[in-house]
């Protein structure tokens, strides 16, 4: 007898991972764009990135005593998933404005 994986939880995990990677890519591109900008608020940027890194590390540290509890029900997280994966979307509401 095989083990049946919780498909909805796995789908939510993969979706969240893909969204995180997209956000990290945007941070990298933004930092590259600002690299030569003498007016960029680097101290504020560094503080925000350090805070985000700490928050992410706390969320991912399942061995910590204060690790966030994972809800048993996965149905609440499904509302975060789009009806169709981003790779299959033919258009997005902000795409035209961003490229114009």
List C-alpha distances in Å: 34 to 30, 40, 44, 49.
6, 7, 13, 14
> pLDDT value at position 43?
93
Give the mean pLDDT per block of 10 residues along the chain (100 residues): 87 89 92 91 93 86 64 53 55 45
**Domain ranges, ordered by start, for the chain:** 1-58
> pLDDT value at position 87?
55
H/E stretch holding 64:
none
CB 81 within 8 A of CB 19: no
């Amino acid at each position: 007898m095989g083990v049946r994986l919780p498909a909805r939880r796995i789908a939510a995990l993969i979706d969240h991972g893909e969204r995180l990677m997209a956000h990290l890519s945007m941070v990298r591109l933004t930092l590259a764009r600002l690299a030569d900008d003498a007016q960029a608020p680097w101290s504020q940027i560094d503080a925000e990135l350090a805070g985000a890194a700490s928050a992410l590390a706390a969320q991912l540290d399942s061995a910590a005593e204060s690790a966030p509890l994972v809800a048993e029900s996965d149905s609440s997280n499904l509302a975060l998933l789009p009806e169709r994966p981003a790779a299959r979307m033919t258009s997005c509401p902000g795409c035209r404005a961003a490229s114009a």
